């Protein structure tokens, strides 16, 4: 479940069988939820949680260290357009 707390949205996740939380900016959470099902995060907390859990499983995230940063980065890539995402992914470090 995702809950709003001030300017952050807290997402409850299971990583490698352990319960943990991640937090992302509420505006970013709203944008993800709007893209997923046209509802704001305060009305679509379970949608946000399922999306974040899927991200963890798809990207095989096994550590809770830096989980909020990982979810935040994936959220930004999720909401941006395909051209911007492709350009960002092609940048060499």
Domain count, the chain: 1
**Would you say 60 and 16 are in contact if contact means Cβ atoms under 8 Å apart?**
no
**Would you say 4 and 49 are in contact if contact means Cβ atoms under 8 Å apart?**
no
Residue-wise pLDDT tens digits, 3-49: 666 688 999 999 989 999 999 999 999 899 889 987 776 777 788 99
- What is the H or E stretch that residue 39 is in? none
**Would you say 41 and 48 are in contact if contact means Cβ atoms under 8 Å apart?**
yes
Domain that holds residue 85: 2-89
Residue-wise pLDDT tens digits, 46-65: 889 999 999 999 989 888 89
């Amino acid at each position: 479940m995702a809950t709003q707390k001030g300017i952050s949205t807290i997402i409850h996740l299971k990583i490698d069988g352990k319960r943990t939380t991640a937090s992302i900016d509420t505006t970013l959470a709203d944008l993800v939820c709007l893209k997923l099902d046209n509802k704001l995060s305060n009305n679509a907390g379970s949608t946000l949680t399922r999306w974040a859990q899927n991200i963890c499983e798809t990207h095989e995230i096994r550590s809770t260290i830096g989980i909020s940063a990982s979810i935040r980065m994936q959220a930004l890539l999720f909401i941006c357009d395909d051209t911007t995402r492709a350009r960002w992914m092609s940048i060499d470090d």
